[in-house]
Amino acid sequence: MPKRTKPRPRLRPRREPEPGKPVSLRVLGEYLDLSPATISLVLNDAPGVQAIPQNTRERVKDAAYKFDYHPSFYARSLRKRQSYTIGVLVPELNDSYATQILAGVEDFLIEEGYFYLTASHRRKPDLIEEYPNMLRERSVEGFIFIDTVLEHSLKAPAVVVAGHREIEGVTNVVLDQRRAAELTMRHLYSLGHRRIAFMRGGSHSSDADERWECLQAVAAELGIPVRPELTVLLKSRISTPELGLDPANELLRRKAGFTALVCYDDIAAIGAIRAIRDSGQRVPEDISVMGFDDIQSAAFHNPSISTIRQPLVRMGTLAAHTLLQRIRGEIDVPRILTVLPELVIRESTCPPRKNPALRKEH
């Protein structure tokens, strides 16, 4: 007697979603004759999805594409009690220093399926205080602060790039400022510079005080006096070359004579070079100029700027990675992460001219 074959189950007739109406998991389930739970597992690539037959997974994805269905972000957030969003605060959105760090933050977060919201506080204390609260209301899970002076702990994990204060729940990603000062001063010293002028950063910049202390310490070790008449404080908070223009003009007006100028950063160095040239002098033949950060335009300026390179993109990646470690509750997350600088020698520094007017006795 011939063996009976079991009849194949018949799929229910497909009912297409009504045009103009949003497509939900339930509607997709009716169309595919599958449970919403199965469709959710496939579209979210959830654990256990491999147990679902390959042809079923393909049917689900084809239907989702056909009807332009996307898993609900809010549903996933409620289910997992996560927003997959962090907040990033910067002084200025157009600042080259911040944008390079943001590039590293973004690259890492994309790989981890996270999104970020950015706000610029313009170094205003009230905004630095208020913006974290506003971002918390938008359900961010943690914060990254870039070149921002943080005064106290927050109600969420945080990482500060260029932070120098020990605060509970905060990791600081910092540059080795002592090493940076050694690279700067020893480079100029080896070229033969002894009368060196300095632009000191304002206290609104989180790196300013430590960088200045380190420069003074290394100068003292080399026997280079840090003269008051050859030191100028940056008072402006702008992120354009004007930052260094007026301070450099002030140093030149004092007529104290110097063969090299250490600028607070590359943006200030660009402004200083313009001031020196406007005074009828040349860079580096008359005055060598050192920058700091190695922003992208430093290599293309004329002359290209000798500088201290901060690995800004890597610092951003490190900040984002560390923040997610804190969010996920991983243990042994360090409170300080130190990265090393690098000396980049370009066209803006050279040995000083044999000018008796500038070779004063110490």
Q: Does the pLDDT value for residue 82 go beyond 90?
A: no
Q: What is the mean pLDDT of residues 284-300?
A: 96
Does the structure show a pLDDT above 70 at 309? Answer: yes
Where do the domains of the chain lie, and which CATH numbers do they carry? 25-71 (1.10.260), 82-175+312-340 (3.40.50.2300), 177-310+343-358 (3.40.50.2300)
Phi-psi domain of 147 (left: phi exceeds 0; alpha: psi -120 through 50; beta: other): left
Strand partners, 144: 88, 159
DSSP string, 189-246: HHHT--SEEEEEPPTTSTTHHHHHHHHHHHHHHHT----GGGEEE-----SSTHHHHH
Q: What is the mean pLDDT of residues 138-147?
A: 94
Structure tokens at 51: 């147990």
The whole-number pLDDT of residue 275 equals 98
> Helices (H) and strands (E) in the chain — how many of each?
11, 12
Compare 44 and 97 and report the one with higher pLDDT.
Answer: 97
Q: How large is the average pLDDT for residues 133-146?
A: 93
Reported as a pLDDT band with limits 50, 70 and 90, residue 205 is confident
Q: What is the per-residue pLDDT across 253-270, written as a single tens digit (0 to 9) for each?
A: 999 999 999 999 999 999
pLDDT at position 131: 95
Mean pLDDT of 334-349: 96
Contact 25/36 with Cβ under 8 angstroms?
yes
Q: Which residue has the tokens 């050279």?
A: 350
**15-31 pLDDT tens trace:** 676 666 677 778 888 88
The share of the chain scoring above pLDDT 90, in percent, equals 63
Closest by Cα among 349, 291, 261 to 96: 291
**Rounded Cα–Cα distance for residues 230 and 226 (Å):** 7
Confidence of residue 80 (pLDDT cuts 50, 70, 90): low
Query: Tell me, what's the pLDDT at 139?
Result: 87
Structural contact between residues 150 and 158, judged by C-beta atoms closer than 8 angstroms: yes
Q: What is the pLDDT of residues 95-109, one digit of tens each?
A: 889 999 999 999 999
Which of 204-218, 232-246, 344-358 has the lowest average pLDDT?
Answer: 344-358
45 pLDDT above the threshold of 80: no
Predicted confidence at residue 10, as pLDDT, reads 46
**Does pLDDT of 308 surpass 60?**
yes
Residue 232 has pLDDT above 60, yes or no: yes
pLDDT of residue 14: 61
Q: What is the mean pLDDT of the chain?
A: 88
Q: What is the mean pLDDT of residues 327-349?
A: 94
